[in-house]
Structure 1
C-alpha cells in the first residue's frame, strides 16, 4: 500500500513539473504584426479619438467587451501570467507593445485569449519588421533564391546606391529577416530569466506561431503567385528549426479594405493564405483566420492609413483575439 502512495506522489509531482513549463508563442510578420492600433484618445484627430483603445473602453457600445483591460482605478491592467518580449521592450502583457509604446498590435488580443486558456505561464515573442515581404525579406531556405530577373533588378537598384555592390550582396538580403526572426527567438530562449523574470528553470516549450503579413507581397502578381509556396516553405522550415514537426500555426489573413476589397493582388494574397491552411500536409495543425470583417473605415478610426488598418485598436484587438481562439483550438487537438 505504501509503495502505491509513493507512486501516486511522484506521478503528481511529475505532472506538476510538466505543467510548470513556460509556454512560448512566436508572433511574426511585418508592420501590422508590429501594430498601429492607437491606445490613447487624440482629441485633435478627425474622429475625436474614435477607434482608439481608450475610446473603446469608454464607449457604451464596446465598454463591456474591453472592460477587462482596465482595473478598478482606471489603469491599464498588466498581466503577471503572460509576458511579452518585443525588441528591447519586455514586461507583463498590457497595451503599449505595438510598433510604439502608444499602440497595440494583435499581441494584446492574442495574449489575452491564450493566457486565459493555458494554465502554464506564457511568453510571447514578437519578431516583426515593417515593409517586409516573404518573397525576399522573410524568404525561407526551402524557397531558394528568387527568380534571376528579380535578383538582377535588385542588383541594379542596389548599384545605384552602392556602385560596387555584387550579386553576393543581393543574396545576403534574401531571407535576412527570416534569419533575424530565428536569431531573435534563439536569443530570447537562451536568456529566459531576462525576458520572463519569474522563470523557474523548469523548461520551456515552443507551442505556437502566429503570422500576420502580406501587404508588401501584394504589390505585384509575381509575389502573389509565389506566396502560397513561400509561406508553406516558411512553415516547414521553422518547424524543422525548432524541432516541432506539428507546431500549431495560425495565419491572420491580409484583409485590408474589408469585404469591399476588389484589388486582385490583395485578394490573391488572402486566397494564398487560406490555401496554405487547407493543404493536406498541414491538416489539423494550421488555421487561417478571416480578418476582413474587422476592417473599420477611416470615419471610425484614428487615421486614414488603410494599409495599417486605419490605426484602429478594435481591429488589431479582434485580429489577435481571433488568432488566439484559433490557436487554442489547435492546441486542444
Structure 2
C-alpha cells in the first residue's frame, strides 16, 4: 500500500468513459459514504467468519492459502478519508488495510466488493473509495443542485441565546454545504487522471469505464433531530429521500455518466426492526422511517433499472449481537455490585456469590465467539468482518446485476 497527498483537480471537469480502441476498458467502481464505508472491522474478526455458516464461504475468498488476507493484483484501489489526515490517499493492490485508520489493519465493504466483482467479471478492475466518518448528506455531502443548507429553527434559536450573528453562521454554513461532495469528486477526478499509474497492468489504449457507484451512509442524518424534526413519523425523512435523489443526478452529471449504475446501501445497524428487543423498541419507528427514506429514490421512474437497494439489515449477525447484549447486561450487574461493595451495602463475599448466581452467563465458547467476531460498536456494525464482508459482497452482486441489465438493454 502506498500513501500520498490527495491531488486536487477541478470539480467542473467531466468524466464518463474514455473510449477503448482495442481491448476492454478498465471498469472503475466508486465507493462513497461515511464511517461504515470507511470500515471498522479489524482483520482479527476474520476468525469470526469461520463460526458463521453464512459467512464461512466468503472467508475462503478473503484469505490466501497461508491464512493471511488475500492480495489481489488484478484489483487496485485508491482510497481517501480512512486516515486521520484527510488529505492522504492510500493506494495499491486490494487487500486488508483500506479501512479506517486505527490499531491494526481494518476493512470496510471494499475488500469483499472487489473480490466478488473480480470473480463475477473475470477482469481487472479499479476501486475508488471516498469515505469520511461523521458526515451527513444534509450538509457535508449535500449535492450542489440542492443549494446551500439554511439554518434550522433550532440553530437560529441557539444563535439568539448565545448572541451570535445568524448572517455569519449562515455564511459559514454556505461554505460547509457540500464540502465533502466536492472532496469526493476531487478524489475521483484525481484517480481517473492517474488510472495508468494506479493500475500498472492496464493498457492505456483500452481506456476506462465508470461501472458503478455505491453509497453507504446515513447515521449522521438519522440522528439529526434539527434537520428532520418529524423523524419519528411517516414522511419525517422525506427530505433525505429528496437530497439522495438529487445526489444521484448530480453525481452522474458531474462525472459525465448519465446511466452510471448506483447502489444504495441502506443503513441497517441493529438488524431487522421486526426482531428488535424490548429495549430497542424506542428506536423502531425512527429506524424504519429512515431506512424507507434511504431506499425510496430507487422507486422513482427515472431510476428504474439503474439504481438498486441493498438492505444491509439482512446481513446483521443477530447471534453475536445477542452475545454483546448479554455481556453488557452482565457487566452492568457486576458494576452495580462493585459499587455496592464500595458503599458498604454488600460484602465482597456476597458480591462474589451473587455474580456466580447471575443468570444467562456466557459460556467459554460464547466468550470465544465474541472475541473473534467483534472489534467495534454496534453503530459500526460491531466492527465485524462477518457483517461488513457480506455487505460488500451484496453491494457487488447488486452492482453486477445493474451492469448486466444495462448490457441486455443495449
Matched, 1:286 2:279: no
Counterpart of 2:256 (choices 243, 246, 264) is 243
The counterpart of 2:69, out of the listed 68, 73, 76, is 76
Secondary structure of the residue aligned to 1:32 is helix
**Hey, what does 2:296 align to over in structure 1?**
275
Say whether residues 1:108 and 2:91 are aligned partners: no
Contact 1:246 1:285 in 2 (8 A): yes
SS in structure 2 opposite 1:270?
helix
Relative to structure 2, which stretch is displaced further, 221-230 or 108-117? 221-230
Task: Pick one of 232, 257, 278 that aligns with 2:245.
Answer: 232
1:83 shift after superposition: 0.9
Which structure has the larger Rg over C-alpha atoms? Answer: 2
Structure 1, residues 240-293: CA drift from partner, whole Å, max 9, x if none? 111111110111110111122642222222101211111111010000001112
Q: What's the counterpart of residue 48 of structure 1?
A: none
* Partner deviation per Cα, 1:166-214 (whole Å, 9 max, x = no partner): 5322210010000100001001111123322223212111111000000
Match of 2:172 among 169, 179, 203: 169
Match of 1:318 among 353, 369, 390: 390
Q: SS of 2:91's equivalent?
A: strand
Q: TM-score, normalised by structure 2?
A: 0.69
TM-fit CA distance, 1:146: 2.1
Residues 1:152 and 1:123: Cα distance change in structure 2 (over 3 Å): same
Distance 1:193 1:128, change over 3 A: same
- Aligned residues of 1:151 and 1:170 also touching (Cα < 8 A): no
Residue 225 of structure 1: how far off its partner (Å): 3.2
1:65 aligned residue: 58
Deviations 1:3-54 (A, max 9, x none): xxxxxxxxxxx998241x11110000000000011112xxxxxxxxxxx113
Gaps of 5+ in 2: 1-18, 81-88, 229-236, 325-369, 406-410
- The match for 1:25 is 29
Question: Residues of 1 paired with 2:313 and 2:390: CA distance?
Answer: 11
With the length of structure 1 as denominator, give the TM-score of the two structures: 0.84
8 Å CA contact retained: 2:310, 2:398 = yes
In structure 2, the CA distance between the partners of 1:71 and 1:135, relative to structure 1 (3 Å rule), is same
Corresponding position: 1:332 with 2:392: no
Give the structure 1 partner of residue 364 of structure 2.
Answer: none
Aligned to 1:135: 138
Contact 1:155 1:166 in 2 (8 A): no
The Cα of 1:220 is off from its aligned counterpart by 3.2
For residues 63 and 267 of structure 1, the distance between their equivalents in structure 2, rounded to whole angstroms, comes to 30
Which residue of the partner structure matches residue 96 of structure 1?
Answer: 97
Distance 1:198 1:150 in 2: 54
RMSD: 2.7
Give the match for residue 49 of structure 2: 56
Does the 8 Å contact 1:154/1:170 carry over to 2?
no
Matched-pair contact (CA < 8 Å) for 2:159–2:166? no
Equivalent residue number for residue 231 of structure 2: none
- Contact (CA 8 Å) 2:150, 2:173: kept in 1 or not? no
Q: Equivalent residues in 2 for 1:295-310 (5 A)? A: 295-296=316-317, 297=321, 299=324, 300=370, 301-303=373-375, 305-310=377-382
* Inter-CA distance 286–154: structure 2 relative to 1 (3 Å threshold): farther
Distance 1:274 1:63, change over 3 A: closer
**1:266 alignment partner, one of 271, 284, 287:** 287
Aligned residues: 306
- 1:216: which partner in 2? 220
Question: Do the aligned partners of 1:95 and 1:103 also contact (CA within 8 Å) in 2?
Answer: yes
User: Partners in 2 of 1:103 and 1:161 — Cα distance?
Assistant: 42
Residue 265 and residue 322 in structure 1: after superposition, are their counterparts in 2 closer, same or farther (change >3 A)? same
More deviation, 261-270/309-318:
261-270
Query: Which residue of 1 is the match for residue 210 of structure 2?
Result: 206
Flag the 1:154–1:18 CA change in 2: closer, same or farther, 3 A. farther
